[in-house]
């Protein structure tokens, strides 16, 4: 006689099948990691003869930094205006596709009693003429994302230091090409991540270095910034070239570095202590851009002929070699307030942004945040020396609350003093690589992807970013 309960037997069978399915998914995920690891290993060739490791690299001192600026739209024109006012800094030449934009920035240089810069405009290839000039030491590149890699490489090949707007590049292949060019030419290539120079980010770095929140365990970083109105810049301006990136499905995190850069610096990622190991990424459906286009443009407009399938919000979890975790998010579509999250958690406390607040062992109750007037006391005790020295002037100069001015001042300072930069080429490549890896993870159903070690294993030899005075 068969005494088995038929309903229980069916349940066991279903559980068995579900277990097999889960096992298969796990095997697929492991396979994805191995595949990524194999690809990463293949990409890491030995450093060519004559090339050098650029971690901690310091270029020869410059008495004065002579700048060329490529791209003077919204971002580049702001850099020109501020660099023209920084001591030991001259704008020698400006290049842009549009004549009126180039001339607008030239007027801003002359306004501050500086010589009128040479202008190059009218053709996408004009920047090569700027790079051919022997009287330029360093170049700012503030152009559409796809142009960052070729322009940065051309600048270094021409003997200039390259300072590139975020992200450094969009593919692992291009990031490797930038790293190789920097090592081969012995020229700086720094992604100018301005958010590392905001007051709270600087203070959090100082607090982490002083051990105030103990051993670091977890971070959260984001770029949540509603930018749908840029779609109205149809023919020129940011929206004219950026909008197309919201179209492809599984696009990943298009803009990871504003939130991630500071958190990586807190954790000493790629400098002595730790390194990103792998990430997983998931995205919501893409809905907001299509709805916005339908509401704001006629049916036959090109934005209404485009499918915006990139997820409105993309979320990554990064695991480091030391076992730490970082959550990263990107959303430029949803109607919600701006935030970079900027959270760092340790064994003795947590520091968080938006709004600025803290929880620190020995300072009040753990059930309430330190905020308001009590938080202001942290500035008095722990403001970063850079902010103490430059903050008042930086706020007057503007540029995202002063962080742009502090960043540009530091670039000039480091180049004139022959000091290592605050961000090296490997950090820019590592932070930027979240974009292609997150896209790959989303395409693979959330399978983990291994980070590439652009330092070729030398990151433990690079000293942590110091608290400079």
Three-class SS state of 162: strand
In tens, the pLDDT along 218-235 reads 999 999 999 999 999 999
Q: Quick one: what percent of the chain has pLDDT higher than 70?
A: 90
In contact, 328 and 315? CB cutoff 8 Å? yes
In the prediction, which pLDDT does 117 show? 98
Tokens describing residue 7: 């309903």
Distances (CA, A) of 189 to 145, 157, 159, 163, 424: 15, 11, 11, 6, 7
* Mean pLDDT value across residues 342-369: 95
Structural domains in the chain, CATH included, are 65-191 (3.40.50.720), 196-283+312-391+424-461 (3.30.360.10)
In tens, the pLDDT along 252-288 reads 999 999 999 999 999 999 999 999 999 999 999 999 9
* Mean pLDDT value across residues 376-390: 97
In the prediction, which pLDDT does 468 show? 82
Q: How confident is the model at residue 6 (pLDDT cuts 50, 70, 90)?
A: very low
- Please say if the pLDDT value at position 315 is more than 50: yes
**CA angle at 262 for the pair 357 and 157, rounded to the nearest 5°:** 160
In the prediction, which pLDDT does 399 show? 85
- Please say if the pLDDT value at position 7 is more than 80: no
In the prediction, which pLDDT does 469 show? 72
Q: Convert 225-254 to b/e letters by CB count within 10 Å (16 or more is b).
A: bebbebbebeeeeebbbbbebbbeebbbbb
In the prediction, which pLDDT does 43 show? 54
**CA angle at 159 for the pair 158 and 162, rounded to the nearest 5°:** 90
Q: Quick one: what percent of the chain has pLDDT higher than 90?
A: 88
Q: How confident is the model at residue 12 (pLDDT cuts 50, 70, 90)?
A: very low
In the prediction, which pLDDT does 39 show? 54
In the prediction, which pLDDT does 366 show? 82
Three-class SS state of 269: strand
* Mean pLDDT value across residues 284-297: 98
In the prediction, which pLDDT does 84 show? 97
Question: What value does the mean pLDDT of the chain take?
Answer: 92
In tens, the pLDDT along 65-114 reads 999 999 999 999 999 999 999 999 999 999 999 999 999 999 999 999 89
In the prediction, which pLDDT does 14 show? 45
Residue showing tokens 């306004």: 111
In the prediction, which pLDDT does 33 show? 61
In contact, 328 and 434? CB cutoff 8 Å? yes
φ, ψ of residue 16 to 5 degrees: the values are -65, -45
Cα four-point dihedral sign 101, 104, 110, 111: negative
Closest CA to 326 of 260, 237, 395: 260
Tokens describing residue 374: 């009590």
In tens, the pLDDT along 114-131 reads 999 999 999 999 999 999
Peptide bond into 355 cis (omega under 30): yes
Q: How confident is the model at residue 23 (pLDDT cuts 50, 70, 90)?
A: very low
3-state helix, strand, coil in the chain (%, to 5): 45, 15, 40
In contact, 104 and 72? CB cutoff 8 Å? yes
* Mean pLDDT value across residues 168-172: 97
**Exposed / middle / buried, residue 82 (Cβ in 10 Å: 0-12, 13-18, 19+):** buried
* Mean pLDDT value across residues 289-305: 98
């Amino acid at each position: 006689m068969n005494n088995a309960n038929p309903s229980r037997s069916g349940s066991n069978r279903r559980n068995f099948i579900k277990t097999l399915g889960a096992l298969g998914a796990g095997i697929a995920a492991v396979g994805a990691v191995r595949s990524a690891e194999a690809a990463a290993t293949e990409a890491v060739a030995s450093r060519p003869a004559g090339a050098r490791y650029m971690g901690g690299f310091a270029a020869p001192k410059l008495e004065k930094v002579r700048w060329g600026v490529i791209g003077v739209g919204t971002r580049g024109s702001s850099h020109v205006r501020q660099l023209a006012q920084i001591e030991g800094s001259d704008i020698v030449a400006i290049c842009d596709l549009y004549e009126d934009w180039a001339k607008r920035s030239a007027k801003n240089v002359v306004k501050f009693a500086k010589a009128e810069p040479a202008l190059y405009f009218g053709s996408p290839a004009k920047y090569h003429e700027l790079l051919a000039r022997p009287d330029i030491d360093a170049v700012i590149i503030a152009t559409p994302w796809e142009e960052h890699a070729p322009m940065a490489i051309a600048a270094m090949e021409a003997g200039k230091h390259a300072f590139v707007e975020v992200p450094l590049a969009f593919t692992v292949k291009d990031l490797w090409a930038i790293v190789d060019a920097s090592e081969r030419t012995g020229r700086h290539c720094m992604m100018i991540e301005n958010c590392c120079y905001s007051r709270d980010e600087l203070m959090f770095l100082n607090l982490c270095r002083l051990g105030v929140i103990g051993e670091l365990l977890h971070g959260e970083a984001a770029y949540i910034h509603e930018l749908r109105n840029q779609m109205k810049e149809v023919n020129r301006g940011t929206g004219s070239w950026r909008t197309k990136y919201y179209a492809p499905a599984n696009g990943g995190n298009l803009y990871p570095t504003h939130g991630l850069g500071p958190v990586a610096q807190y954790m000493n990622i790629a400098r002595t202590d730790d390194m990103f190991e792998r990430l997983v990424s998931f995205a919501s459906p893409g809905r907001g851009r299509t709805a916005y286009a339908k509401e704001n443009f006629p049916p036959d407009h090109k934005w209404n002929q485009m499918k915006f399938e990139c997820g409105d919000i993309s979320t990554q979890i990064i695991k480091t070699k030391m076992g730490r975790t970082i959550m990263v998010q990107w959303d430029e579509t949803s109607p919600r307030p701006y935030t970079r999250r900027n959270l760092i958690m340790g064994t003795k406390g947590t520091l968080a942004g938006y709004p600025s607040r803290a929880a620190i062992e020995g300072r009040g109750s753990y059930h309430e945040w330190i905020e308001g007037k009590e938080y202001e006391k942290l500035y008095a005790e722990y403001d970063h020396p850079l902010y103490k020295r430059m903050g008042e002037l930086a706020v007057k100069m503007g540029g995202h609350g002063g962080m742009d001015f502090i960043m540009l001042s530091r670039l000039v300072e480091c180049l004139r003093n022959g000091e290592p930069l605050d961000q090296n080429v490997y950090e820019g490549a590592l932070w930027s690589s979240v974009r292609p890896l997150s896209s790959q993870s989303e395409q693979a159903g959330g399978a983990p992807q291994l980070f590439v070690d652009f330092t070729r294993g030398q990151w433990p030899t690079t000293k942590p970013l110091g608290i400079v005075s």
